[in-house]
Chains A and B, each alone.
Chain A
């Protein structure tokens, strides 16, 4: 059963990214989309999104991954998953 508004979840994720990346957020979206992930399809392709994060940030990706997991868990009051792809898959299934 759906529990979350999909648009709101995606917008919250964008909020976390913007909080971390500041003025470089637009650079991130450019590279994200260049690697085949649309900014609005994060919940549709969680594995691809995480792979792309790792391509761009290398070992630094874990900083973003844990920030998104923590923020989404707090914001939506759901249990934090161990990895970001799992968290996004869970949120994707619970959202309409």
Chain B
């Protein structure tokens, strides 16, 4: 095939390899887990959020290696990662707290938010408990700093109880919280040769854009009926949208073609599948020609000739 790259694994999808190789070329950073509200933990590669299950498949297929771990706090009862901090009154345990600057009247030892000491009639502070006027800070009254007042039981305190509540309604003390570790990944070096594939599709894209005025995207994303976002080496928009995929060589033929058929079944669009000449006959009896159009490519196929074939189908 024109890319000059040999598929090294029997079953891995060639487009996935190109996708990861392209990422590895642009970024040397490790792929870290990220928490997204509504999604949980995801791994972002090339702007795409991959689920933990999906990235685990990449790991199992030796496309990625574990480079470390990142821990996220989780509920000890249900393992949920969607946690919220709750501040509770240390006495009555309720959550109706007000945060404010605290003032204390030394003589009667009454403490409360500073607002309660402000008298509407006098310029001086007045103790709401004993009604004495307070003039001298440090002698008659003090301001120990920020604190909390419980609106339910009236207790004033500096340090509330810190509890963690999960979306399932479980409440835990902070020392009870579990840590859930997620792997941090890096792209394995041996698949980085697939960068050439992405580069080759860039050349085709250039011809399509400049020579033929067709809009296209390298490593384009298309959402399937299943909700899974598929990544294709090239997605071309024309009178109809066409996604371009490829099979590099005969290794792992069964797995690769099944993956291509399944992707095709998940999409509304026509899939244009580049394959080596030697596979065309075998594939023609397997794929639905209305859904997957085969295009034989060889080491001599130029980006121009391939772009022309794509344009014919896109219209």
Question: Interface on B for A, CB 8 Å cutoff?
Answer: 11-13, 16, 53-54, 57-58, 61, 224-228, 254-255, 257-259, 261-263, 265-266, 285-288
- Inter-subunit contact A58/B286 (CB<8 Å): yes
Q: State which residues 59-88 of A face B: CB under 8 Å.
A: 59-60, 63-64, 67
Contact of B266 among A18, A19, A27, A59 (CB under 8 A): A27
Inter-chain contacts of A20 with B (CB < 8 A): 11, 254-255, 258-259
Nearest neighbor of B58 in chain A, beta-carbon distance = A23
Inter-chain contacts of B255 with A (CB < 8 A): 19-22
- Inter-subunit contact B263/A24 (CB<8 Å): yes
- Inter-subunit contact B263/A25 (CB<8 Å): no
Identify which of B13, B57, B257, B285 gathers the most chain A CB atoms within 10 Å of its CB. Answer: B57
Inter-chain contacts of B266 with A (CB < 8 A): 24, 27, 30-31
- Inter-subunit contact B53/A60 (CB<8 Å): no
- Inter-subunit contact A21/B262 (CB<8 Å): yes
- Inter-subunit contact B265/A31 (CB<8 Å): yes
Interface: A56 (CB within 8 A):
yes
Distance in angstroms between the alpha carbons of A22 and B255 in the assembled complex: 8
- Inter-subunit contact B257/A27 (CB<8 Å): no
Distance in angstroms between the alpha carbons of A67 and B287 in the assembled complex: 18
Q: A60-B287, A63-B258 are in contact. Are A23 and B265 (CB under 8 A)?
A: no
Q: A60-B257, A63-B254 are in contact. Are A24 and B287 (CB under 8 A)?
A: no
- Inter-subunit contact A27/B263 (CB<8 Å): yes
Inter-chain contacts of B228 with A (CB < 8 A): 24, 26-27, 30
Nearest neighbor of B10 in chain A, beta-carbon distance = A19
Annotate A8-38 by CB proximity to B: 1 below 8 A, 0 otherwise.
0000000000111111111110110010000
Q: How large is the interface on A (under 10, 10 to 19, 20 to 34, 35 or more residues)?
A: 20 to 34
Inter-chain contacts of A60 with B (CB < 8 A): 257-258, 261, 286-287
- Inter-subunit contact B262/A26 (CB<8 Å): no
Question: Interface on A for B, CB 8 Å cutoff?
Answer: 18-28, 30-31, 34, 56-60, 63-64, 67
**Smallest CB separation, B189 vs chain A (Å):** 20
Q: A58-B287, A58-B288, A67-B254 are in contact. Are A23 and B262 (CB under 8 A)?
A: no
Distance in angstroms between the alpha carbons of A85 and B123 in the assembled complex: 91
Given contacts A26-B53, A58-B286, 12 further A-B contacts (CB under 8 A): A22-B12, A23-B13, A24-B263, A30-B225, A30-B228, A34-B225, A56-B261, A56-B262, A57-B262, A60-B257, A60-B258, A63-B258
Distance in angstroms between the alpha carbons of A30 and B225 in the assembled complex: 9
Main secondary structure of the interface of A (DSSP, over half): helix
Nearest neighbor of B259 in chain A, beta-carbon distance = A24
Inter-chain contacts of A23 with B (CB < 8 A): 13, 16, 54, 57-58, 259
Closest 10 CB pairs of A and B: A30-B226, A63-B254, A27-B226, A24-B262, A20-B255, A60-B286, A60-B261, A59-B286, A24-B259, A23-B57
What would 26 A/B residue contacts be, using CB atoms closer than 8 Å?
A18-B57, A20-B258, A21-B258, A21-B259, A21-B262, A22-B11, A22-B259, A23-B57, A24-B259, A24-B262, A25-B57, A26-B53, A27-B224, A27-B228, A27-B263, A27-B266, A30-B225, A30-B266, A31-B262, A34-B225, A56-B265, A57-B262, A59-B285, A63-B258, A63-B286, A64-B258
Distance in angstroms between the alpha carbons of A30 and B227 in the assembled complex: 9
Inter-chain contacts of A64 with B (CB < 8 A): 258
- Inter-subunit contact B61/A22 (CB<8 Å): yes
Inter-chain contacts of A30 with B (CB < 8 A): 225-228, 266
Inter-chain contacts of A57 with B (CB < 8 A): 258, 261-262, 265
Identify which of B228, B257, B258, B286 gathers the most chain A CB atoms within 10 Å of its CB. Answer: B258
